[in-house]
Amino acid sequence: MGEVGAELDDGSLAAARELLAAAERVLVLTGAGISTDSGIPDFRGPDGVWTRDPEAERLSTIGHYLADASVRERAWRHRLDDRTWTAEPNAGHRALVDLERSGRLDLLVTQNIDGLHQLAGSSDHLVVEMHGTNRTARCVACGWTAPMGDLLERVRAGEVDPDCPRCGGIVKSDTVYFGESLRPERLERAFEAARNAQVLLAVGTTLAVTPVARLAPVAVESGAGLVIVNGSATEYDWLADAVVRGSISDVLPRLVGD
């Protein structure tokens, strides 16, 4: 999470900077906390989407989405007002672009679906979106895809549940819903990077959701250092070489900058 959880510890920041400065292969894992400073709420935090509206979780559950037209209609209305469309990358996102330009970023694995890493300038081929992206729509029947903006224009024009123009099937965001599996090739690429990394930098995630959270112990077991930047405690603070608390958009530029 991106909010300040404690006063910034300069000692922890210095230790984290030292680890990163010495690493030639850095694996970065980001969660919702890196985007909260861009105005995108997380899901389960105090002001999270599902905390404020528990019924909203149904919109991202594949069984409900496929079976109930009213759920799909509500989902499309919700997409129209998604804060993603007006959000801008923050200094935390841009700091990771700087890390890439230094030649030390091996892979950026994100649990986010907002596309802000790429908007900030991260190279698409170095970003693994574990949960997909809400900037693309996909037909569940034939696999047809299109920019989400094209579908939202149809909703604004009066379609409450726009279908696939190719086969008439149900269309959803190209994200992993509850009840769906993560794509194996994405998992394999992430865990391969964890086994080869010299440092794993975990940012804005509580490291509580498996299997992605397992990247932390796998990296450490393979000899990597672990740096955690988050606004609150995580499941693997005890395993980390350095834990930095504070606003992510403030901490990351200081952590990876010259």
Does this model's pTM top 0.85? My answer is yes
Catalytic residue among 64, 93, 117, 131: 131
Cα dist. 192→51, 150, 187, 236 in Å? 34, 36, 8, 20
Task: Say if residue 52's pLDDT is above 80.
Answer: no
- Residues 24-41 pLDDT 10s: 999 999 999 999 999 998
The answer to whether residues 199 and 251 belong to one domain is: yes
pLDDT, mean over the chain: 91
Q: What is the mean pLDDT of residues 218-226?
A: 98
Which of 61, 85, 82, 83 is CA-nearest to residue 72?
61
CATH number at residue 21: 3.40.50.1220
The predicted structure's pLDDT at residue 2: 38
Q: What is the pLDDT of residue 4?
A: 36
**Mean pLDDT across 144-157:** 97
State phi, psi for 243 to the nearest 5 degrees.
-120, 125
Q: What was the pLDDT predicted at 3? A: 39
Cα 56 from Cα 54, distance rounded (Å)? 5
**Together in a domain, 36 and 161:** no
First to last CA, the chain: 25
**Based on the structure, what is the number of domains in the chain?**
2
In DSSP terms, 29 is beta-bridged to: 109, 202
Same domain, 147 and 235: no
Q: Is 131 a residue of the active site?
A: yes
Q: Is the pLDDT of residue 43 over 90?
A: no
Round to whole Å and give the CA distance between 50 and 113: 16
What is the residue range of 13's domain?
Answer: 1-40+89-131+182-258
The kind and range of the H/E element at 242 are strand 242-245
